[in-house]
Copies of this chain bind each other. A is one copy, B any other.
Amino acid sequence: MIEEGAVKAGSLLEGLPAAPLAKEITDILADAREVRIERIVSTGQVTPEGQWYDQETDEWVLVVAGAARLRIEGEEADRELTEGDWMLLPAHCRHRVTWTRAEPPTIWLAVRF
């Protein structure tokens, strides 16, 4: 639990890079014992060839702006994600990001729990 009275606030749409960067930017917006909320800004990054995310925690992810493609291991095709689309990826659900829109950047919200 957060310190009582400590309201925090911000905008997911501010502080974006003016041009594509080599790496994604991750901002931690909230971090409690069981939950972490992050904004991730992608400017074309993908998961390196042959690699999969295999995470210890459940992840709920939302495309706030932009677009992306994501492959779940065992599925035949990429899933297309656009603004407003969310996915709940259980822990150890192996997946890779195969494309992200670079300009303007793709803004993700990730809740790990």
Binding site for B on A (CB under 8 A): 1-14, 29-30, 32-35, 37, 58, 60, 62, 64, 72, 79, 83-93, 109, 111, 113
Contact = CB atoms under 8 A, between A and B. Distances in A.
Contacts of A10: 85-86
A113 B109 CA distance: 16
Give this chain's copy count.
Answer: 2
A32 B113 contact: yes
A93 B12 contact: no
Contact of A62 (B33, B58, B109): B109
B35 A88 contact: no
Contact of A88 (B7, B85, B88): B7
Nearest to A79: B9
A58 B90 CA distance: 23
A67 to B, nearest CB: 13
A89 B7 contact: yes
